[in-house]
Chain A
Amino acid sequence: MTEITLHLNGTQAAHTVEPRQTLADFLRDRCGLTATHLGCEHGACGACTVVLDGQAARSCLQLAVMCDGRSIQTLEGLRADPVMEVLRRHFHESHALQCGFCTPGMLIMGRDILQRYREPDAQTIRHELSGQICRCTGYAGIVDAIVAAGREIGTATR
């Protein structure tokens, strides 16, 4: 067991963790933050994507011990995030989710894309979304939603 301190969704706290525990299991099982889903546990589906020190990360491929002193945001911690608010609305309006299992990871990745690209086009978004599996929607609604969110944010900040 190892002591760590995490900045999690804006709150700093100390925890003891078993070295083998992944960040995903830590978030879900220890912190009750179940927006972060597990779809493969080997880095290939994106359902577990969170923000680690400002960058998108697969939480199934991070050890909680290694996150000591770092800052983590999960979907729960982005409730009031302005970009996330816009994305959520467009996901809803573009029918970007069906079963909803991929949705938290898609939203985190969508936000990451919008932070790196200004008004990205569909092709850019598709490339950036590779590795995020959605088994239900066929991606069209997700891509549309991120395009629309990008435009809205772009227009607002022009």
Chain B
Amino acid sequence: MAGHAASDSWIGARLLRKEDARHLYGHGAFIADIRMPGLQDIAFVRSQRAHARVRQIVKPPDAAGRVFTLADIGPLNILEAGPELAAHRHGPYPALSDGRVRYVGQTIAACMAPTRAEAEDLADRVSVELEELPAVVDCVAAMRPGSPRVFDSWPDNAFITSTVNEGNPASLAAAPIRLRRQLRMNRQATVSLECRGSLAYWDHRLNELVIYLSTQGGHVKRLGLSKALGLPENQIRVIAPDVGGGFGGKNRLMPEDIAVAAIAMKVGHPVRWIEDRREHLLASVHARDHAYDLIISADRDGTLLGVEGDVHIDAGAYSLWPTGSFMEASMASRNLTGPYRIKHLKLNTFTVATNKAPMGPYRGVARPGACFAIERLVDEVARELGREPFDLRRQNIVTAAELPYSTAAGMRLDTGDYVASLDMAHDMVGLPAIRKRQIAGEPNGRAIGIGFAFYTEQSGHGQVEWVKRKSRVVPGYESASGRMLPDGSVIFHVGTQNHGQGHETTLAQIAAHELTIDPARISIRYGDTATTPFGFGTFASRSIVFAGGAVAKSSRGLIAKIRRIGAHLLQADVANTRVEGGAVHGPSGKISFAEIAYAANVRQEHLPAGMDPLLDVTATYEPTETGGVFSYGTHAVVVAVEPDTGVVEILDYVVAEDCGTMINPMIVDGQVQGGIAQGIGTALYEEIPYDEAGQPLATSFADYMVPCAPEIPKVRIGHLVTPALATEYGVKGLGEGGAIAPPAVIANAVADAFRSIGASFNETPLTPRRVSEAVDRARRAKGAAA
């Protein structure tokens, strides 16, 4: 008899989500929903200047014990953040200003009152005297010799510089086609709809600090908080309630978190800080902000040869714990060959400190910038050669036969069929029909453009990859602790952190598949360091690979024991049993999990001699190949552009993607559509500009444009399924991919609309002004040439 007939039906099922009901009835429990006796609110006094010495902080005389400066909440330890590389400079980032402020919005003091409104009243009465210093606001100018410094003791403003030199870049000088382009992806916010927040209190009974945190990973935050507060980890409990989106923005230890925890330890009653939208835009994780100055080289036949140039990352004033922002530069450069057979690479990267809010991860991390750069360059080469950009992609892209393929930048692309993805998108969007439509022209004077962009998305990368990145924590595994209760129902505790991805559903599907029981009998729990095994949280498209694998492994451990008990109770040889439909079947009958679990938990006399009671298996999981598995896809878009106003309308958006085996296709489509919506935000709408003095110019939704339903099309999604070889079930992560290609594909489409005049669209977001100005420049250049 076969040992284990895992039911196939749950993997790949469009199972509706278990987490929906509470939200649909308004019972979601987000951090701001938590009420506690004695709870007080915190409001922060923040810097109004980009760079200044804090001369004096004057507390209102009647506010004793309610206004906290750094001296009042200390002593605290400063955590070193960023990669563990000697070349990476450390700029200490205190929870509250230590006498210097380096960006508008930096925390200076914390004010506590029974309500947030009163805390803000108090904050308005704290007077702060600043002595303004010159601000560094442009990351390219910041590297010029005369630039003012963000940190006085540094020889220049770079956190770190690095070079990439692969193949034989010297050979590129002789290439027949050499195009130099400057591209820029501007700074934006992450904008989870729920802002950040933390609530902390000292639990006097347990003698521990309890911190509710809207976070993507509680265990790592506990590690950081423990170091910062000098409090042992066994006296810190971090709980993540429902988390209203994160997208990277809730995956760093932030100064407010430390300050709130420290204040809770001083005052003895619960305190909370709920970030408001202005604070979010001002001082939460900022993202993107890449500047590229690149030369792409190609042969006349269209063969892409190499990429050379500079990559500047505007990292803001500080490194956020744990990883800082160097990953932006390293991931950008490692993705700059795209999926193409580009052999030669020579890049200088500069991760630059400026007087802006610190940069952190945001869905896609660095790859939207890199994809934008390389995919724009490919289109520019095509235009130079008079070729159809789609054909040039097809000519240069790595074929299925070449996979696995190591790119010049050092990525090992694993499985898939990239050409098939290109072709699928081509057919879905209907390239020939659009070309015909363009010839006919539009009655309303708009120009129609079509664009393609290809992306890969590294996911499920483990130890090898993170060690290579010199990461301070190495998220090389995930854990799951599965427990079958006496009635045969099951609870898994995992170390990842669902915040919209549907883990309660997909992880239950995996467990249901392994355990051959209905997902309704399985609960997935997460978000509490007191109950879950150590794990790293949810980011980097890792959860389905890692937590999915850990749940599978834990389930299999449970099944092994269940089978042994079942065989014993059936008086059969284990080898002669099989597991099916929530029961162990033997030659002479079957016995349900419930009966087995009852024995294992409360009637040990029925267990085989010498067997330990309980059905409780904690497993850790890492894929067999830890360089990562790569999801990929082609985005294609049709736009209509009004040249004078510069307004871009998306007429059609298609995706042909491959994320390996899909556990739940409904959730896959949801991630793709949602990621693209954010990518469209990056491409067309979202930006936090700064003026020359370092003042941010988008600090409310009046100025910061988040696209709504009229701006976001329904994306048509096509799937290819090439299972990964290194993961359970062949899954690949796919949380970020949707957000990677939209800036590239939309810019390519807009450029296509104006290819006859050679307009270039190399800066995001493509605001109406930028679009119209690019058209105007090209028209003038053409006029001047003619």
Contacts and interface: CB of A to CB of B under 8 A. Distances in A.
Do A and B contact each other directly (Cβ–Cβ < 8 Å)?
yes
A39 B704 CA distance: 14
26 contacts: A28-B33, A32-B35, A34-B33, A37-B194, A38-B32, A42-B700, A42-B702, A44-B702, A45-B706, A74-B26, A97-B24, A98-B502, A98-B670, A99-B242, A99-B499, A101-B30, A101-B244, A101-B245, A102-B193, A125-B709, A126-B710, A127-B710, A129-B708, A132-B709, A135-B192, A137-B677
Contact of B193 (A41, A74, A101): A101
Contacts of B712: 138-140
B709 A92 contact: no
Which of A75, A79, A136 counts the most chain B CB atoms within 10 A?
A: A136
A40 interface: yes
Interface of A: 18, 20-21, 25, 28-29, 32-42, 44-45, 47, 74-76, 79, 88, 91-93, 95, 97-104, 107, 122, 125-127, 129-144
Contact of B500 (A79, A98, A142): A98
Contacts of A35: 25-28
Contact of A138 (B21, B25, B244, B677): B677
Interface residues of B, number: 56
A15 B517 CA distance: 51
A64 B701 CA distance: 23
A37 to B, nearest CB: 7
- Secondary structure of the B side of the interface? loop
B666 A95 contact: yes
A95 B670 contact: yes
Contacts of A144: 714
Given A39-B193, A92-B24, A98-B502, A126 B709 contact: yes
Contacts of A91: 20, 24
Given A88-B24, A97-B17, A103-B24, 19 more contacts: A18-B117, A28-B33, A74-B26, A91-B24, A98-B502, A100-B20, A100-B23, A101-B245, A122-B714, A125-B709, A127-B709, A136-B500, A136-B674, A137-B677, A138-B678, A139-B677, A140-B712, A142-B709, A144-B714
A2 to B, nearest CB: 15
B193 A76 contact: no
Nearest to A32: B35
B291 to A, nearest CB: 26
Interface string B17-45: 10111111111111011010000000000
A21 B24 CA distance: 27
A40 B244 contact: no
A132 B708 contact: yes
Contact of B673 (A18, A45, A127, A141): A141
B110 interface: no
A100 B22 contact: yes
A134 B670 contact: no
A131 B30 CA distance: 22
A45 B193 contact: yes
Given A44-B700, A135-B678, A138-B676, A100 B242 contact: yes
Contacts of B192: 99, 101, 135
B621 to A, nearest CB: 24
Q: Which 4 A-B pairs have the closest CB atoms?
A: A35-B26, A100-B23, A101-B244, A138-B677
